[in-house]
Structure 1
Amino acid sequence: MTPQPSKTKNLFGLGISILFILLGYYLINKSSETIYQLSGWACIIFFTIIALFSIVSLVKKSR
């Protein structure tokens, strides 16, 4: 059995992930340069995965 992070750590991770997802959205819409758009998409994809893991962990703990 592996140790599970606490509920506050999961909520903190979810909150930070949402902030970085919004930052990625801002990068995509702010500039037309390719590097900023690629950075924005990478940010959105990576932190969406992190947010999903946090949500799954929170739902598992509530059961």
Structure 2
Amino acid sequence: MSAAQARPAQDRDWKDQLVELHVLAANGDKAAASEAERWMADDPEVRKAWAEVEATCDRIRGSEGSA
């Protein structure tokens, strides 16, 4: 497998982990929130992705209220 083929799977893995941390943190898991904060402090790309996940969740929550 080439590096180009491996990269999307790695991207998906860390993004899946980030979404999981976001959901846990949003539901009061202080350990998940702390882990996410440390991760975002070390990696601007992770912070950007977190903001995107947060915006997506906000949109979904907003659409649930209008359904």
TM-score, length-normalised on structure 2?
Answer: 0.46
Structure with higher RCO (Cα < 8 A, 6+ apart) = 1
